[in-house]
Structure formats: C-alpha cells, structure tokens
A and B are shown apart, each in its own frame.
Chain A
C-alpha cells in the first residue's frame, strides 16, 4: 500500500475527509473511547482512529450532559440562574458565581463594596487551589497511580471545602455571590480558620512536589508529550493554565484587573515547552501564587458592608443593552455574555465555557501520540463535563 492511499469507505459515518494512513503497514482501528471510560472525567467520547498504537484521528463527541443551561436561564430571572451557575463547573462553583455576578454588574452598572471584593478574591483563590490540587490528583491517577496521589490532593481540598461549607452552607454548590456583593458576611472566626488552612498549604504543596515534580515516572510519561505551540494556542482560543504552559503571558487577573486584583502582588508563571509536564507545573506554581494573594487579602480585608445598599434584589430589570464579563477561572477564561431587553429575565444568556474551547486543540495535541498518552493529554487539559456540555 502506498503512503498516500486513502481509505474513505471506513470513515463514512464521520462526515470527514478520508484519513491518510502514514505507514500503510496495518489497518486503521477505530475506537470509541468513552462515554463511560473512567478517564474521560464524565460522559465524554473520543472517536479515535489508530494506526497500531498511534493516533491518526481524534474527534471529540459532546452533548451527553447537555441540558441547555442557556435556554433555562433565559426563562427565569437574573438571580434565579445564580444557583445554576454552580452546576456548570461543579468543582469551582464560586468562580462561576463571580463571573456571572461580574457580567450582571457590568450590565446594570452596579458597584461592589470593598469587603465583598476581598471576600470574592479570597474565595476565588481558595477555589483555584482546590481545583488545581484535584486536577493534578486526577492527572496522576490517569497515569496509573491509582488512588494514593488523588487522596493526598483530596485531603487538602477537603479542608477548603469545609471552609466553603461553614460559610455558604454547601461544599460544592455554594450559590454565594449576589449582584452587588455577597450573600452572607464572613465572621472573624471563619477568617481565622482560613488563615490556618492557608498557613498549612505551602507544606502540602512542598510535599506534593517532593513526591511528584522530579518523579522519574511522571517525567518520563509527561515530558515532550502533547506539545501545544503558542501560536496555535492563541489562535484556537485556549486560555488559562494551558495557554500559559505554552509560554503565552496572558492572565485576565493581570490584563483586565477585574475586582481588586490590581492591589495584589503576584507573579504569572509561564511554561516553556507546552507539554503535559509544563501544564502540571503551571498548576503547582499557580497554587503557590494563589497563596501569596490569599495572604495579602486575608491581611488587608477591611470591615464594612458586603452588599451595595442600592442593589435591587426584587424587581431587578437592567436597562436594555448588552455586556460581556469574564474572569480568570481556574480552568481558563470564563465569560458570560448577557443581552437585556429591559425585562426581568435575560434576553440572551451565554456562557463562554473554557473547558469546551480548550478542547479545540485536543486533536492537534494527540496526533502521532500513543493511545495511552491520549488519557494523559486529555487529563492535562483539565475539563469538567458540566461546563463542556452545559
């Protein structure tokens, strides 16, 4: 078989141009990986075409968890969608809350009091730490170290979730932010407990790193695997730690300076190679920077109101217009685009899901890699299906 010979008949149902078999030695093997594969982080399917062990095509199939979040949000009032944003990326409900509140505040020109801004930063950075910790845990799990590293990550995550629970009443579905502030005030005791947890975090990350960062198996499995070039990353709309792992200096906390992020000193870690190892490293370093932000915020948090007294809860009807608000969520750029026609519910409500858009480059990263590495590369993207399918 010549190297350019095509096999259109095998790929009929895919509605795709035919695959070119590179070596022409064997036949292509089509594998539907998922939607119930344990490594797919939920119900997600990848249609793979394999040449031996190598991937020659990968097509993600979405929609198993689709419940048309946007349509539902367009049928209820603005505030009624707030608890539902928790269910998008259910690992980081507080940053989802913040992104939505930010967009609505932009749409209705609302102010947020000082103390509420600090609370938001503290909660968002705690969310970032627990998201990165668990995503690294899952990544190592997918490398074959079942259980133990994930439990190390979850041990620390549990402490942060306890803080969330004592403040908001729920570990994961927090429903905490409101347009123009927050739902309940933090107590001095809660702040002390948070300081205690944050003080223990560097030791946890040190331990994590001592076990993992120079681990031979981790290095062998992740270095040089799933390389993403910076120009493709930018063109494909990749955001968050994945973009920065490719060496692109773009952190929305630094660029937009939403909330009060202009007050804190922190660095933006950047990767060099854009491989799975860099993505792992980015998350470790971002956790460290989050601790830096947390220490500053916990020291400076002022007393004062947590809700804008002028904020209208009942009968909230923003003036006609539109707004796009975005934040640096742990997984990337999370944006909400809202169009108001002056009514009590949004005319158009759109979530810009970082998890979905970061998957645009999944095929590019996996082509030519071994099928065993697909699991790793996919894990290093760090997605949550609740946000991908909405």
Chain B
C-alpha cells in the first residue's frame, strides 16, 4: 500500500482544493490519519473508493470521538518591578514570578473512518473529520451514499454523539429511543436522576431523597430520563 503521505498527494492531485491535513499518530501503532475538510469530503471519499490503485471499497469502522472544551493552564514566567524594603531602605527590585494563565481550547466532535481495500487487500487508511464546535455547528457530510456500511454506524454516532450527517438517507437514533434528549457518549453527559423512593429513615437515604427533590423542582432534568415517546 502507498504511505499515508502518498495517498494525501494522490488526493490533492485528483480533487483540487481538497484541503486534506496529515494527522500523525504518536503511539507505537503509528496508524497516521488524514483529516478531510467537510466541504470536499464526499469527493475525496468517492475518489478513494473508485481509484484503481487505492480501491478502498470496504469501509470497516466508523466511530465518533468527543473532545470537550479544554481549559489549559499554562505557567509563564513574568518579570515584575517590586518595591521592597531592605534594611530600612526602599529599593526597586526585579522579581520573576510564575503566573498561571488560563485559556480555553474550543472542543469539537470528530468522526473517524477506517478504510480497507478488499480488491487490493490493503489497509487500513484512517480518515477523520471535525465539526466546528460541539453545540450548534455539528454537521458533517454522510459517507452512506459512498459506502453503505456507514448507514447504521453513522446513525449510532448521531445517537450517541450528536453529529448530524448531511445526506444520510435515514438519520434516526439507533440504540436509544426516539424521545431521548441527550447524547450519552459525550464526556460531559450527566446520567438521569433515576432515584427510587426508599422508605427507610437512614441518613444517607434521606439525604438522597432531599437532593432528588430539589433537583426535580429546580430544573426540567426529569424529562431527559423519562422521555419514552
């Protein structure tokens, strides 16, 4: 099989403006991947399937990954002018202070595809696509028109991660029920409050009952768990 860099070059030659990005895999498996731009992804996928040399006719695995917003704390050394009293005399001294600065790296949802070729018996080629954010811009093009095997797997990602696949013929929840609201595989998913009344007067039971009551009054959290349509 061609190396991932060679495949990237082949894609760029065939699909002008493909915007393919090489993503190295630092682990020992060294399965490097290609990140596709959502706008040209369908053209690239069709090329990968139909090209005689590459012939990636078998889309084996499709999955999602959640990358939540990350707060990164960086320590930076800052020089400051400090006035200090040394032996009764005010002196202006320069002091190096460590400061932690925080910045938020915006998160995204990622779809990962593992391609093999049955005709040429090579693979895997790993493709990935990123959504713009995790809340309102979660659309990605569907690969189901190119490879049918994405049909259920993209439905599963839609269900568990909340990526909306544009062009999917039948995008419904796969594993959770239709009335379900959240996406359970996201890292910040909160399990529904499935408290059951326990009539014992133990301290911890009473505490749980109290917490449950305040939650029920406080928000519409109950709707999430009992959303059987």
B29 touches A71 (CB 8 A): no
- Given A66-B175, A71-B184, A237-B58, verify A360-B26 contact (CB < 8 Å): no
A195 at the B interface (CB under 8 A): no
A357 touches B152 (CB 8 A): yes
A320 touches B147 (CB 8 A): no
Q: Write out the residue numbers on chain B whose beta carbons fall within 8 Å of the beta carbon of A68.
A: 160, 175, 184-185
- Specify which of B29, B112, B148 is in contact with A106 (CB 8 Å cutoff): B29
A234 touches B58 (CB 8 A): yes
B65 at the A interface (CB under 8 A): yes
Binds A, one of B9-17, B90-98, B118-126: B118-126
A63 touches B25 (CB 8 A): no
**CB within 8 Å of A: which B49-78 residues:** 57-61, 63, 65
B121 touches A324 (CB 8 A): no
Per-residue CB contact flags for chain A residues 251-271 toward chain B (1 = under 8 Å, else 0) read 000010000000000000000
State in angstroms the CA–CA spacing of A234 and B60 once bound together: 10
A90 at the B interface (CB under 8 A): no
Closest Cβ neighbor of B29 among chain A residues:
A323
A171 at the B interface (CB under 8 A): no
B21 at the A interface (CB under 8 A): no
- Given A236-B149, A237-B147, verify A62-B175 contact (CB < 8 Å): yes
**CB within 8 Å of A: which B67-113 residues:** 112
A250 at the B interface (CB under 8 A): yes
Per-residue CB contact flags for chain A residues 97-136 toward chain B (1 = under 8 Å, else 0) read 0000000001111000000000000000000000000000
Q: How many chain-A residues does the 8 Å CB contact rule pick out?
A: 46
- A128 to chain B: closest CB distance in Å? 20
State in angstroms the CA–CA spacing of A71 and B191 once bound together: 12
Q: Write out the residue numbers on chain B whose beta carbons fall within 8 Å of the beta carbon of A10.
A: none
A350 touches B61 (CB 8 A): yes
Q: Write out the residue numbers on chain B whose beta carbons fall within 8 Å of the beta carbon of A320.
A: 26-27
- Specify which of B65, B126, B176 is in contact with A66 (CB 8 Å cutoff): B176
B218 at the A interface (CB under 8 A): no
B29 touches A235 (CB 8 A): no
State in angstroms the CA–CA spacing of A318 and B28 once bound together: 9
- Specify which of B27, B118, B172, B175 is in contact with A319 (CB 8 Å cutoff): B27
Q: Write out the residue numbers on chain B whose beta carbons fall within 8 Å of the beta carbon of A286.
A: none
A177 at the B interface (CB under 8 A): no
Per-residue CB contact flags for chain B residues 11-43 toward chain A (1 = under 8 Å, else 0) read 000000000000001111111000000000000
- B43 to chain A: closest CB distance in Å? 18
A337 touches B114 (CB 8 A): yes
Per-residue CB contact flags for chain A residues 231-249 toward chain B (1 = under 8 Å, else 0) read 0101111110000000010
A326 touches B60 (CB 8 A): yes
Closest Cβ neighbor of A356 among chain B residues:
B152
Q: Write out the residue numbers on chain B whose beta carbons fall within 8 Å of the beta carbon of A347.
A: 65
B170 at the A interface (CB under 8 A): yes
Q: Write out the residue numbers on chain A whose beta carbons fall within 8 Å of the beta carbon of B25.
A: 321-322
State in angstroms the CA–CA spacing of A300 and B157 once bound together: 45
Among A107, A248, A320, A337: residue with most chain B CB under 10 A = A337
Per-residue CB contact flags for chain A residues 13-46 toward chain B (1 = under 8 Å, else 0) read 0011000000000000000000000000000000
State in angstroms the CA–CA spacing of A235 and B153 once bound together: 14
A339 at the B interface (CB under 8 A): yes
B174 at the A interface (CB under 8 A): yes
- Specify which of B57, B61, B65, B173 is in contact with A235 (CB 8 Å cutoff): B57
A324 touches B124 (CB 8 A): yes
Q: Write out the residue numbers on chain B whose beta carbons fall within 8 Å of the beta carbon of A106.
A: 28-29
- Given A62-B175, A71-B184, A337-B63, verify A236-B118 contact (CB < 8 Å): no
- Specify which of A16, A235, A324 is in contact with B149 (CB 8 Å cutoff): A235
Sampled A-B contacts (6; CB under 8 Å) = A63-B173, A248-B118, A255-B121, A321-B29, A335-B114, A389-B175
Q: What 16 new A-B contacts, CB under 8 Å, besides A238-B149, A324-B29?
A: A15-B172, A62-B152, A62-B175, A71-B184, A109-B29, A234-B58, A237-B59, A237-B147, A237-B150, A318-B27, A321-B27, A321-B30, A323-B29, A323-B31, A326-B60, A339-B65
